[in-house]
Chains A and B, each alone.
Chain A
Amino acid sequence: MPTFWLVALLIALSAAGFYGGRRRAIATAAGNVKDLHSLPSYYGYHVALAAFVPAIGALAIWLLAQPMFIENRVSGMIPAEAIPESSSIGLVMSDVRRVAEGLDLAVEQGLLTAREARNAVAGEQDLRALMGEVGVALGSKVRPEVLNAAQAYRNLSHTGRIAMTVVVALLALGGFAFAYARTHKDFRARNVVERAVLALLILAASLAILTTVGIVLSMLFETKNFFGLHSWTDFFFGSTWAPNFRGGSELSILPLLWGTLYISFIALLVAVPVGLFAAIYLSEYASGAVRAFAKPLLEILAGIPTIVYGLFALLTVGPALADLFGKGGLLGVEWMTGATSVLTAGLVMGIMLIPFVSSLSDDIINAVPQAMRDGSLGLGATKSETVRQVVMPAALPGIVGAVLLAASRAIGETMIVVMGAGAIAKFSANPLESMTTITTRIVSQLTGDTDFASPETLVAFALGLTLFVLTLGLNVLALYIVRKYREQYE
């Protein structure tokens, strides 16, 4: 039975369970709903959940585990000599899967009877042509080992499928019967449903956490592979970034880290004062009308895709800077050779971060109690004295948190630096030179023809992990500071 019908059946069963449980509960109370411990629908939910949840859980696990199990069994059947020189067990297995799938399709479309399919012998019929007819393309003639394995594959999946249907159906019916039998007017169905809701919420919360853990682990494994191929001292303490796909690369993170931090620093130099002053204006000085108009406008900046900022850097800011500092420029100096530079990327990234800083700071400034401002104004302070001496000190920890969050965004930003900063990894204090960052190198190491066994590719994971640790550290620090600040007024 296809999985779809199995799920449909489960839903139908739990719907029946809902009405059944409800009716039984009312019946045990002799029609008097007030005698029930819980509202009638809770008894319904209880039965429906008992029928649905264990069964669907088993189904999900089975669907995940069965292919792994079968793959394992079948790949053990293929003798080592059956694997061609240039191939690998993985490629043979994908042939096996395709043959099995082709046979199934052929039966489905009436080209073969089930019996013929089971007894198909390699070489006797032109299986490759048959497969072609049902839309499964094979690279070569079907070899007997592959066909055998494919038959075993079909057998196992067939049995697995039947077993799955039986197990799921039994669980559903068992759950239904158990819950139905428990349904009684004194049964605390409401509390059980409450626990089910709790479980659902915990599941949702843990999914997010598990995903993070999964991402970190996958990065960790690849990073470990990388350090197996490349020395960690060169990665952390080397001074040159010179990947070379013919081997002998120098892969040091330091020049990239320098570029990342330098560009982020310039971005923050732009974003923090402008964003903060914008926030102060909007929260302390602007009239309602101006605020209603300017705040959304400022936040539109946050909605612009970073690639658009990248274009802005490439087409507008970069050439403008080159006109100023470049050869034959307005200043008559020749400090800049191309349009891409640390300053280009930093300026544009700073603009991108303005709404980020301003809207977070605005919230934090607004959270400073009005009583503080009244107290200061009541003593004859002017508005700017009040902001400078009372509001800002009270909001400072929160603002520091906002700045750190902005910093971690700047460090992780990719598109603007790809287009604005150039691609040369080097140590230089000159903001008018091209530099590159960790994120852009990750992109360039993973695009194009990649070989996941070479350190030049795997270095991307080590870079990514380092970046992750860096931004995670900043975020944790920011959250810690923001939280500490919150305690003051609660």
Chain B
Amino acid sequence: MNDMTLMDKTVETQNIKIAAKDVNVYYGDSHAIKDVNVEIEDNTVTAFIGPSGCGKSTFLRCLNRMNDTIDICRVKGDILLDGEDIYDKRVDPVQLRAKVGMVFQKPNPFPKSIYDNVAYGPRIHGLAKNKAELDEIVEKSLRRGAIWDEVKDRLDAPGTGLSGGQQQRLCIARAVATEPEVLLMDEPCSALDPIATAQVEELIDELRSQYSVVIVTHSMQQAARVSQKTAFFHLGNLVEFGPTGQIFTNPEDPRTESYITGRIG
């Protein structure tokens, strides 16, 4: 699509939202992430690319401590969100996840109505004082998830009854409803058809104005289309990190070039 114009895209702000320093992750005995240093900027879409099993999803899940739910997983090193270590003992992972929202690979709406799906986060965090406010949050979130027009007449219908692409946009709306500062997306389009993918990508680009978005993707075209910064992971190492245009047109590391041109992967 518009791959080549990407280089000219300006990165408006330079605020560092998340800084990772010397992060190592172990699953039992296997060393999944090795000494990763990365700085993720605010109001930017950062893409993580790399072959399967390279650790990009694992690293993404470190950013909101979703790896805590896996018993054998250990994380070493510092990850700072707005300058504060998220692995500090005083940090409550539950609070952190409200700030760093997540959208998963497979759409996973709860077996509840569309309304209740979106209202779930605001309800558990007490974001709405009354029903009217909650209604407002739900509508705003669904609009931001670019799905309001499709579901506004059937908010009481079960979320599981929507099509795959609609479900994924519902999940994005659900994540947005808790008003996170960072939105993590783990291959959000891998279960979607091209039309739904295009809709979600368009949405990601819009979300950039308010959030810092980190997206893991297998599709290099997608990374090129939606992101401003790209990080290339290989075998647990962060091989290269830089502006998307540069990574795709003029990579410094030979491994990055091999991957982008399809020789490894």
Interface residues of A (CB under 8 A from B): 287-288, 369, 371-382, 385, 389-390, 393-394, 488
Contacts and interface: CB of A to CB of B under 8 A. Distances in A.
B161 to A, nearest CB: 11
A377 B160 CA distance: 19
Contacts of A373: 69
Interface string B18-36: 0000000000000000000
Nearest to A379: B121
B94 A390 contact: no
B137 interface: no
Contacts of B99: 380
A394 B159 CA distance: 13
Interface centre among A287, A380, A385, A390 (most CB of B within 10 A): A380
A374 B66 contact: yes
Contacts of A394: 110-111
Interface residues of B, number: 29
B12 interface: no
A374 B108 contact: yes
A379 B174 contact: yes
Interface string B85-96: 000000000111
B236 interface: no
List the 9 shortest-distance A-B pairs measured between CB atoms, nearest first.
A380-B98, A378-B102, A371-B108, A380-B97, A375-B108, A379-B121, A394-B111, A381-B124, A382-B94
A376 B120 contact: yes
A330 B111 CA distance: 50
B193 interface: no
Contacts of B104: 371, 374-375, 378
B149 interface: no
B125 to A, nearest CB: 6
B114 to A, nearest CB: 14
A379 B177 CA distance: 9
Contacts of B69: 373-374, 377
B106 interface: yes
Contacts of A382: 94, 124
Contacts of A377: 66, 69, 97
Contacts of B121: 379-381
Given A378-B175, A379-B120, 13 more contacts: A371-B106, A372-B110, A375-B104, A375-B108, A376-B120, A377-B66, A378-B102, A378-B103, A378-B104, A380-B98, A380-B125, A380-B178, A381-B121
B226 interface: no
A394 B175 CA distance: 20
Interface in B138-184: 160, 171, 174-175, 178
Interface of B: 64, 66, 69, 71, 94-99, 101-104, 106, 108-112, 120-121, 124-125, 160, 171, 174-175, 178
Contacts of A389: 120, 124
A393 B160 CA distance: 14
Given A374-B104, A488-B160, A379 B175 contact: yes
Interface centre among A287, A372, A375, A376 (most CB of B within 10 A): A375
B97 A379 contact: yes
8 contacts: A375-B171, A378-B102, A379-B98, A379-B178, A380-B94, A382-B124, A393-B110, A393-B112
Nearest to A374: B104
A304 B230 CA distance: 61
Nearest to B171: A375
Contacts of A376: 110, 120
B17 to A, nearest CB: 17
A5 B171 CA distance: 73
A489 to B, nearest CB: 9
B72 to A, nearest CB: 9
Contacts of A381: 94, 120-121, 124
A390 B112 CA distance: 9
A372 B111 CA distance: 9
A376 B116 CA distance: 12
B110 A378 contact: no
A488 B69 CA distance: 25
Nearest to B175: A379
Interface centre among B94, B96, B125 (most CB of A within 10 A): B94
A409 B102 CA distance: 44
A378 B94 contact: no
Contact of B110 (A287, A288, A390): A390
Contact of A380 (B71, B95, B103, B110): B95
Nearest to A393: B111
A453 B71 CA distance: 67
A385 B102 contact: no
B131 to A, nearest CB: 18
B66 A378 contact: yes
A488 B120 contact: no
Contacts of B102: 374, 378-379
A375 B69 CA distance: 12
Nearest to A488: B111
A288 B120 CA distance: 30
A171 to B, nearest CB: 59
A366 to B, nearest CB: 15
Contacts of B98: 379-380
A377 B125 CA distance: 12
Nearest to B103: A378
Given A378-B175, A381-B124, A372 B108 contact: yes
Contacts of A288: 71
A334 B165 CA distance: 68
B176 to A, nearest CB: 10
A371 B106 CA distance: 8
A389 B125 CA distance: 14
Contacts of B71: 287-288
Contact of B108 (A369, A385, A393, A488): A369
Interface centre among A288, A373, A374, A378 (most CB of B within 10 A): A378
Contacts of A369: 108
